[in-house]
Amino acid sequence: MSILIIDDEDILQDVLTSLLRNDGYSTFNATTAQAGLDILAKEEVDLILLDLMLPDMSGIEVLKRIRAEDPDQVVVVITAFSSIEGAIEAMREGAFHYIPKPFKNEEVLLTIRLGLERRRLTSENRQLRAELRQRFGFDNIIGKSKPMQKVFELIQLAAPAKSNILILGESGTGKELVSKAIHLHSRRSDGPFVTVNSGSMPADLLESNLFGHVKGSFTGAVANKKGLFELADGGSIFFDEIGNIPIDTQSKLLRVIQEKEFMRLGGIETLTADVRIIAATNVNLEQSVQKGEFREDLYYRLNVITIGLPPLKQRTEDIPMLVRTFLSKFAEENDKQLEEIEPAAMEILMDYHWPGNVRELENVIERAVVLSSGKSLSVDLLPPAVREPSGQPTPISFLPTNGVSFKESVAAYERQLIVRALQNADGVQKRAAQILKVKPTTLHEMMKRLEISVDRVPS
């Protein structure tokens, strides 16, 4: 282990060098602050003994520079009894410990051993985190197909950068999982990861959530509240379905991206936030820009690095791996003995067109596991919509005849599609809306108009 001694007293240098070398350490010696910094620029040092009183620079300033260059560096300061206040300030600036002059040899050696142990543990933790990120950083993103390998490659290249990222993909393709993997592999991985559900709340509530508000700014604002940008400071903020953000809120979001500044609702104080934006959408933002629904300048700010997620139907070779993963997960969660899937059932899953993508496949496997009683997932455990050999929606089983108007026929077909989607989604309207690629509110209105009740939908 190597130790750098920065002290302008020759006698102290000789004493410390002799003491440390006799205890098995190698030493570097500097009698000025600049000489010590020069050594650090060239040599690998495990611990630094730093005098607070140096001829060319204060010890506190040296400490700040060392910590700025290497936050994990262990620095033990040496100070006279009359400068204990300076030692306390050094501790606030990140020094590991301080040794007052005159010191006892045993005290110096013990402090150094503790400091080196701290460095060892810090190094091991950093290495372990790196290994975990390398092995498990992609969380539940599963796939060996060529499209997914390209996605993994893009994540690894883009994550360490500072640029904003735009993730494109249909609902259920795993956009949030990719955003988390990007954050985990970034330099901000130790910072917070905050998710914004962009399309699920009114504009005023969204702005309050994003930027916070001050007490009395609106009815119900009984106290000051921090926004998500403040909470995400130093980390990443993920905008899910950013294409749904109201146009007025988009301009405020653009300011945060450009200036890193914002104000709470009803406030006058300018706040700052250092965050990385990761946005996702299942709509064509270029078309939204052309229609005037999305700001062009915001689009270009977000679209620095684009990661496109393929729909499940374009990577069917990943289905067996996904099925086995979900089977194991839900069998454990539900205390089931399911160990395998019958070949006929796997064949059906491979043939199905999966309009709801990976999320739909996960729901289908969860349903099958819950309903199972044996050790094998059989065909009869799959929903009726998935069991169809063609893997395509049921063709219209009727045609307009005398006395049946076109409007009535269209309504009947709409009813059939909605009922099938509800069956496939186990009666969950939000999932059914995703399968049909309509907004949940639109589906709700259609069900009302067609007098469809979830309770009466056959399983």
Name the average pLDDT for the chain.
85
Residues 194, 235 contacting (CB under 8 angstroms):
yes
> Look-up: residue for tokens 């094998």?
376
Q: How far apart are CA 361 and CA 381, in angstroms?
A: 13
Residues 323, 150 contacting (CB under 8 angstroms):
no
Residues 264, 271 contacting (CB under 8 angstroms):
yes
**Which tokens in the block code for residue 198?**
């962009």
The pLDDT score that the predictor gives to residue 459 is 56
- Side by side, the strands of the sheet bearing 276-281 are 193-197, 236-240, 276-281, 165-168, 305-308
Residue spans of the domains in the chain: they are 2-129, 146-310, 313-387, 406-456
Query: Is the pLDDT confidence value at 72 over 70?
Result: yes
Residues 142, 321 contacting (CB under 8 angstroms):
yes
- CATH, range 313-387: 1.10.8.60
**Which tokens in the block code for residue 264?**
């709470």
Q: Which of 8-12, 133-137, 182-186 has the lowest mean pLDDT?
A: 133-137
What are the pLDDT digits (tens) for 339-398? Answer: 889 988 998 999 888 989 999 999 999 999 999 888 899 999 999 888 864 434 444 444
Amino acid at 166: L
Choice between 135 and 111, residue whose per-residue pLDDT is larger: 111
Q: How far apart are CA 116 and CA 123, in angstroms?
A: 10
What are the pLDDT digits (tens) for 402-417? Answer: 555 677 777 777 888 8
Q: How far apart are CA 361 and CA 377, in angstroms?
A: 14
**Which tokens in the block code for residue 46?**
């495990």
Q: Which of 98-112, 187-201, 345-359 has the lowest mean pLDDT?
A: 187-201
Mean per-residue pLDDT for 183-193? 88
The pLDDT score that the predictor gives to residue 140 is 57
User: With pLDDT > 90 as the criterion, what percentage of the chain qualifies?
Assistant: 36
Choice between 41 and 141, residue whose per-residue pLDDT is larger: 41
**Which tokens in the block code for residue 289?**
């820009």
Q: What angle do CA 213, 215, 216 make, to 5 degrees?
A: 105
The pLDDT score that the predictor gives to residue 128 is 59
**Superfamily of 146-310 according to CATH:** P-loop containing nucleotide triphosphate hydrolases (3.40.50.300)
Q: How confident is the model at residue 79 (pLDDT cuts 50, 70, 90)?
A: confident
Q: What are phi and psi of 139, to 5 degrees?
A: 50, -120
- CATH, range 2-129: 3.40.50.2300
- CATH, range 406-456: 1.10.10
2-129 and 406-456 in the same fold = no
